[in-house]
């Protein structure tokens, strides 16, 4: 849907995160003197990618304890999503509501045929219908651009790299490996790899997430034809999330990259590193888009 080069940028970032995983496998294979670890790490990456592909429509739904709703229960959601789906020439996704006062929304699903859109009770009370339309347009574009699959796979591989990094660090501290390579230089290199690889993977994951958020803002505003509605919704969400943040549990943290606004307190975001671009920059870009200035 978008006319910029972020698809290529995302592909390059994915290449980087895969390269880190394979580099870890190569290092472990060299350290232990057993090349099977390179294949093991490659298979882990493939398995993680496949699992994330088939389960990307369930992660956030479970984390947020969301339940399906009927048209009689949420007529505005159904009316808006049906209109925008028809405008985009895409199938109607399933609709869910999460029973939390924290204002947020997210889409899940590996493709438009297996998609769901969810709003929290908090966002339904916070936004007017025009603003809700802007938010739902944003979420639908995440589905149409395959962003949920992209983000889920990136998060899964980054998680594998972090786990392996922790295991490698533990092994370096308590022994093991090919003793011929266990001089001071090898140990330091291994410790550096164990520390830096998870950091690099996380940075790449965040870059992917931020890129997809900007795309969904622009493409969602194009779909609705109303960039200022989404800008107004984002302003309210920034205040609303600050007043009613979610607890940064592991499940919610793993699903937070799918949400339209980072659901945590500012202090929690600093600890966990935000996967979302700054809200003021997103709003400024939408306002520039509405005024006919150069698009991002």
Domains and CATH numbers, the chain: 6-56+150-197 (no CATH), 59-147+207-290 (3.30.2010.10)
Q: Is the pLDDT of residue 178 over 80?
A: no
The pLDDT, as a whole number, for residue 166 is 63
- The residue length of the chain stands at 296
| pLDDT, tens digit (0-9, with 9 covering 90-100), for 23-39 | 777 776 666 666 676 66
Alpha carbon distance 84, 137 (integer Å): 7
Q: What share of the chain is helix, strand, coil (3-state, %, to 5)?
A: 70, 5, 25
Whether 154 shows a pLDDT value over 90: the answer reads no
pLDDT at position 289 is 94
- What pLDDT sits at residue 185? 52
User: Closest Cα to residue 136, out of 89, 86, 84?
Assistant: 84
If we measure between CA atoms, which residue out of 5, 55, 15 comes closest to residue 201?
15
Question: Of 28-37, 210-219, 252-261, which gets the smallest average pLDDT?
Answer: 28-37
What's the average model confidence in pLDDT over 273-295? 83
- Cα–Cα distance, 66 to 226 (Å, whole number): 28
CA dist 104 and 261 (Å) reads 6
Give the CA radius of gyration of the chain. 21
> Do 154 and 14 contact (CB within 8 A), yes or no?
yes
pLDDT over 70, % of the chain: 61
Top pLDDT among 173 and 288 is at: 288
The pLDDT assigned to 231 comes to 97
Mean pLDDT taken over the chain: 79
Beta-strand relationship, 94-98 and 116-120: parallel
Choose between 121 and 295: higher pLDDT. 121
Q: What does the pLDDT read at residue 295?
A: 46
Please report which confidence band the pLDDT of residue 279 belongs to, taking 50, 70 and 90 as the band edges: very high
Q: How many whole angstroms separate alpha carbon 97 and alpha carbon 124?
A: 9
* Mean pLDDT, residues 61-77: 95
Residue 291 has pLDDT above 80, yes or no: yes
Q: Tell me which residues are annotated as active site.
A: 139
The pTM assigned to this predicted structure is 0.74
Rounded to 5 degrees, φ, ψ at 119 are: -115, 145
At 271, the pLDDT band (50, 70, 90 cuts) reads: very low
Q: What is the C-alpha separation between 139 and 149, in angstroms, rounded?
A: 13
């Amino acid at each position: 849907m978008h006319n910029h080069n972020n698809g290529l940028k995302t592909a390059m970032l994915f290449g980087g995160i895969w390269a880190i995983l394979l580099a870890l496998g190569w290092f472990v294979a060299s350290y232990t003197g057993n090349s099977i670890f390179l294949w093991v790490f490659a298979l882990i990456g493939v398995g993680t990618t496949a699992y994330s592909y088939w389960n990307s429509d369930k992660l956030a739904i479970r984390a947020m304890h969301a339940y399906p709703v009927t048209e009689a229960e949420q007529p505005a959601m159904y009316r808006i999503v049906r209109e925008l789906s028809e405008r985009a020439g895409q199938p109607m996704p399933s609709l869910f509501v999460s029973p939390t006062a924290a204002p947020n929304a997210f889409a899940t699903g590996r493709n438009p045929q297996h998609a769901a859109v969810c709003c929290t009770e908090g966002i339904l009370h916070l936004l007017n219908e025009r603003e809700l339309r802007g938010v739902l347009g944003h979420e639908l574009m995440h589905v149409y651009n395959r962003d949920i699959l992209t983000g889920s796979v990136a998060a899964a591989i980054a998680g594998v790299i972090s786990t392996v990094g922790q295991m490698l660090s533990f092994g370096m501290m308590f022994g093991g490996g090919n003793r011929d390579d266990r001089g001071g230089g090898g140990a330091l290199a291994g410790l550096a790899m164990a520390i830096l690889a998870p950091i690099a993977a996380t940075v790449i994951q965040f870059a992917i997430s931020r890129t997809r958020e900007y795309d969904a803002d622009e493409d969602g505003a194009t779909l609705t034809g109303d960039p200022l509605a989404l800008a107004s919704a984002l302003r309210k969400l920034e205040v609303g999330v600050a007043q009613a943040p979610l607890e940064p549990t592991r499940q919610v943290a793993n699903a937070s990259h799918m949400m339209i606004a980072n659901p945590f307190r500012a202090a929690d975001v600093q600890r966990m590193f935000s996967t979302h671009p700054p809200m003021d920059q997103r709003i400024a870009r939408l306002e520039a888009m509405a005024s006919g200035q150069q698009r991002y």
